[in-house]
């Protein structure tokens, strides 16, 4: 089967469609590609594999890796054709059995050919290669059936990666037009869409994505506070005694941009606590993050936020929110009306947790970022953790442009505890993508919390400046 025959065969089974389709990014597209139906047909799947093997004859590789899920059958056929081992990459790392992300017979240093059905931005390809590198494998070549964007080759090349595509959308459209399968209007709509997308990509300078929704003033306030104090350190002060709480906070305040609290663990008069906390934060130029982790329906979280013994809406600048209840939780939690209690408060969404064995999946994380990206006026950022530097870099790439990633579970040296907490060291966290680090026991359990806070602040701020210099 040749390229033109493949394109017609994909059209025959409805893998190529024209009309109006809403993509995962929220963008309306005049065409849609779905190769999931193609890989269920053995002969067609085999034909795609044969063409990809021919397309990559000049590439030296030791194993084939298909990105889950559509590309796995294609990679399986390629493995059978070439006799190269097939490695399978799990969607998520197992924390039981043999563990790990990669399944198969491999040794460190093996060269992998990464296979996928489509490429648009190259995001999932970069994440896959980071995961392979974390397992000691090498990957410099990517083979795909269809390149949706003519910019992908150049974008991946900036990461030292070479793309090998069987065909492009432009070639696909012209082939179908010549065969009388689509109209001139369809072809023109696709051409205009691709041209518009490429213009947007270039204006973003490929490395800096533009926000899709306006930001709120709280995001700028956080950035301004960080810059004024030359600090990206958040103290998670999980101390139950008010006297000790404020002694530590006041000693550490010069090194902090934010303090994270759990009002529901505090002993004594909560009203007195919140008033003093608000006063201390204003005097020390700090933001207050109440780590309430709201997770109920809108009407319930509204009462939890505005009423109850803590009356969080009256003193917190930010609160943490689980999105398990859906996007409507933000409608109930954060009022839009000016002057209402909590109207100036923002939400940090829980995208990943630092506890070992937590149940947050990659799909859940992706949906959290989608929702937060639409709610930039209410959501300045996210709380997210990853088990290592490579995984954190992959997580950071998913964060909508302009929003912040705050990373918990950070210590001056990576370690864990007997309660399931996992730690990253400061440099790995910040170079991996943390805009701010959240530190708790590494500061408040030290004999001199103020000195510990200064050490964390210095290390984290220096790492952030270094990362920003590299990114520019």
What confidence tens digit (pLDDT) does each residue in 39-76 have? 999 999 999 999 999 999 999 999 999 999 999 999 99
Q: In the structure, what pLDDT confidence band is assigned to residue 97 with cuts at 50, 70 and 90?
A: low
Same domain, 238 and 141: no
Average pLDDT over every residue of 234-260: 98
Average pLDDT over every residue of 96-116: 87
In CATH, what number is assigned to the domain containing residue 354?
3.20.20.70
Q: Looking at the domain assignment, is residue 365 inside a domain?
A: yes
Same domain, 154 and 125: yes
pLDDT of amino acid 210: 44
Of residues 404, 379, 400, the one with CA closest to residue 257 = 404
Question: Tens digit of pLDDT for each residue in 268-311?
Answer: 999 999 999 999 999 999 999 999 999 999 999 999 999 888 99
User: Does the pLDDT of residue 211 top 60, yes or no?
Assistant: no
Annotated catalytic residue 264: no
| Gap between the Cα atoms of 302 and 135, Å rounded | 45
| Gap between the Cα atoms of 227 and 205, Å rounded | 25
pLDDT of amino acid 214: 63
Name the domain boundary from 177, 203, 229: 203
Active-site residue, from 11, 291, 317, 435 = 291
Same domain, 429 and 311: yes
Same domain, 346 and 382: yes
| Gap between the Cα atoms of 354 and 370, Å rounded | 21
pLDDT of amino acid 355: 76
Average pLDDT over every residue of 194-212: 52
Is residue 143 within 8 Å of 55, Cβ to Cβ?
yes
Q: Looking at the domain assignment, is residue 106 inside a domain?
A: yes
| Gap between the Cα atoms of 214 and 18, Å rounded | 31
Is residue 301 within 8 Å of 268, Cβ to Cβ?
no
Question: Tens digit of pLDDT for each residue in 140-170?
Answer: 999 999 999 878 888 899 889 999 999 999 9
How does 414-451 read in b/e, with b if 16+ C-beta sit within 10 Å?
Answer: beeeeeebbbbbbbbbbbbbbbbbbbbebbbeeeebbe
Number of domains in the chain: 2
User: Does the pLDDT of residue 121 top 90, yes or no?
Assistant: no
Active-site residue, from 34, 186, 238, 296 = 296
Ranked by mean pLDDT, the top range of 83-92, 211-220, 356-365 is 83-92
Q: In the structure, what pLDDT confidence band is assigned to residue 124 with cuts at 50, 70 and 90?
A: confident
Looking at residue 84, the DSSP 8-state letter turns out to be P
Sign for the pseudo-dihedral over CA of 327, 382, 161, 89: negative
Active-site residue, from 133, 210, 293, 303 = 293
Q: Which of 26-30, 210-214, 386-390, 433-437 has the lowest mean pLDDT?
A: 210-214
pLDDT of amino acid 90: 81
Q: In the structure, what pLDDT confidence band is assigned to residue 340 with cuts at 50, 70 and 90?
A: low
pLDDT of amino acid 74: 98
Same domain, 10 and 155: yes
Annotated catalytic residue 11: no
Average pLDDT over every residue of 253-257: 98
Domain that holds residue 369: 217-471
Q: Looking at the domain assignment, is residue 273 inside a domain?
A: yes
Is residue 178 within 8 Å of 230, Cβ to Cβ?
no
Same domain, 44 and 107: yes
User: Phi, psi (5° rounding) for residue 106?
Assistant: -145, 165
Alpha helices in 204-327 (DSSP H): 217-229, 242-252, 270-284, 298-306
Q: Looking at the domain assignment, is residue 212 inside a domain?
A: no
pTM, two decimals, is 0.72
Same domain, 176 and 236: no
Same domain, 51 and 132: yes
In CATH, what number is assigned to the domain containing residue 177?
3.40.50.2020
User: Does the pLDDT of residue 96 top 90, yes or no?
Assistant: no
Q: Looking at the domain assignment, is residue 380 inside a domain?
A: yes
Annotated catalytic residue 293: yes
Q: What percent of the chain has pLDDT over 70?
A: 90
Same domain, 261 and 398: yes
Determine how many CB atoms are found less than 10 A away from the CB of residue 11.
Answer: 18
Question: Tens digit of pLDDT for each residue in 382-428?
Answer: 999 988 887 888 889 889 999 999 999 999 875 655 555 567 999 99
pLDDT of amino acid 341: 65
> With 0-12 CB in 10 A as exposed, 13-18 as middle and 19+ as buried, what is 50?
middle
Q: Looking at the domain assignment, is residue 208 inside a domain?
A: no
Same domain, 183 and 286: no
β-strands 287-294, 258-261: how paired?
A: parallel
Same domain, 173 and 234: no
pLDDT of amino acid 152: 85
Ranked by mean pLDDT, the top range of 100-104, 201-205, 245-249 is 245-249
Same domain, 284 and 250: yes
Average pLDDT over every residue of 123-152: 89
pLDDT of amino acid 206: 33
Q: In the structure, what pLDDT confidence band is assigned to residue 346 with cuts at 50, 70 and 90?
A: very high
Q: Looking at the domain assignment, is residue 180 inside a domain?
A: yes
Name the domain boundary from 203, 236, 262: 203
User: Does the pLDDT of residue 29 top 70, yes or no?
Assistant: yes
The better pLDDT of the pair 87, 420 is held by: 87
Mean residue pLDDT across the chain: 90
Name the domain boundary from 176, 203, 230: 203
């Amino acid at each position: 089967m040749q390229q033109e025959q493949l394109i017609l065969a994909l059209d025959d089974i409805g893998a190529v469609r024209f009309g109006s389709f809403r993509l995962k990014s929220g963008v309306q597209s005049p065409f849609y590609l779905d190769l999931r139906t193609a890989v269920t047909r053995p002969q067609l799947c085999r034909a795609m594999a044969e063409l990809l093997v021919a397309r990559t004859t000049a590439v030296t590789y030791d194993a084939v890796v298909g990105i889950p899920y559509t590309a796995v059958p294609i990679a399986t056929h390629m493995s059978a054709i070439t006799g190269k081992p097939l490695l399978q990459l799990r969607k998520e790392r197992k924390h039981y059995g043999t563990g790990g992300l990669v399944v198969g017979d491999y040794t460190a240093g093996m060269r992998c050919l990464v296979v996928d059905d489509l490429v648009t931005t190259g995001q999932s390809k970069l994440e896959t290669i980071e995961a392979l590198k974390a397992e000691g494998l090498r990957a410099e070549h990517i083979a795909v059936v269809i390149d949706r964007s003519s910019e992908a080759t150049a974008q991946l090349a900036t990461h030292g990666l070479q793309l090998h595509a069987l065909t492009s959308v432009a070639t696909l459209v012209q082939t179908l037009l010549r065969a009388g399968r689509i109209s001139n209007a369809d072809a023109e709509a696709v051409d205009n869409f691709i041209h518009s997308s490429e213009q947007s990509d270039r204006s973003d300078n490929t490395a800096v994505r533009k926000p899709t929704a306006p930001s709120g003033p709280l995001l700028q306030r956080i950035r301004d506070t960080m810059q004024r104090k030359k600090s990206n350190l958040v103290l998670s002060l999980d101390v139950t005694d008010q006297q000790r709480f404020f002694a530590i906070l006041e000693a550490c305040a010069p090194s902090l941009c934010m303090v994270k609290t759990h009002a529901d663990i505090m002993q004594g008069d909560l009203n007195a606590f919140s008033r003093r906390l608000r006063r201390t934060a204003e005097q020390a130029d700090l933001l207050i993050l109440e780590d309430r982790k709201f997770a109920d329906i809108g009407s319930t979280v509204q009462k939890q936020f505005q009423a109850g013994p803590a009356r969080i809406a009256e003193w917190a600048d930010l609160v943490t929110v689980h999105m398990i209840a859906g996007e409507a939780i933000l409608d109930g939690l954060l009022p839009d009306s000016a002057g209402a209690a909590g109207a100036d408060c923002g939400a940090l969404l829980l995208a990943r947790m630092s506890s070992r064995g937590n149940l947050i999946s990659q799909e859940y994380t992706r949906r959290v970022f989608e929702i937060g990206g639409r709610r930039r006026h209410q959501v300045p950022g996210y709380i997210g953790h990853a088990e290592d530097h490579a995984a954190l870099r992959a997580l950071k790439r998913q964060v909508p442009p302009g929003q912040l990633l705050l990373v918990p579970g950070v210590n001056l040296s990576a370690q864990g505890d007997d309660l399931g907490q996992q730690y990253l060291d400061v440099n790995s966290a910040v170079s991996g993508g943390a805009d701010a680090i959240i530190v708790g026991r590494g500061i408040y359990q030290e004999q001199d919390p103020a000195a510990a806070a200064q050490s964390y602040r210095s290390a984290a701020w220096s790492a952030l400046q270094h990362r920003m210099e590299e990114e520019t």
